[in-house]
Amino acid sequence: AAGVIQSPRHLIKEKRETATLKCYPIPRHDTVYWYQQGPGQDPQFLISFYEKMQSDKGSIPDRFSAQQFSDYHSELNMSSLELGDSALYFCASSFGRGPYEQYFGPGTRLTVT
């Protein structure tokens, strides 16, 4: 079965640089969620989109922005990177915003040096 695809899988950036993470949801899933998991931490919800509109917002820094495109893929844009942004970034998708299971991708490991 098709799963959530994230690219790139690994990314190394320097402080103050920008990064773009991409997420391709499971086919026919119209809702995308972004989470950040720092070293030794539990995942923290950043933001979600339903039918290309932002549907909920968590602890996403102002330096980050995201959007969902007409084909339902999503991109997380991160600017002025800081050392503390080093983490695993997960994308998840579901079919609708209702009480549906969230399926997680393999994650993008971002290292900021």
> Which residues of this chain interact with another protein, rule CB under 8 A?
31, 33, 35, 41-46, 48, 50, 55-56, 58, 88, 90, 92, 97, 99, 101-107, 109
Q: Which is nearer to another protein, 72 or 103 (CB)?
A: 103
Closest contact distance (angstroms) between CB of 71 and another protein is 20
User: Rounded distance, CA 2 to CA 66, Å?
Assistant: 23
Provide the β-strand partners of residue 24: 5
Closest contact distance (angstroms) between CB of 111 and another protein is 12
- ∠ CA 103-51-41, rounded to 5°: 35
Contact of 35 with 92, CB cutoff 8 Å? yes
Closest contact distance (angstroms) between CB of 20 and another protein is 20
Q: Which is nearer to another protein, 24 or 90 (CB)?
A: 90
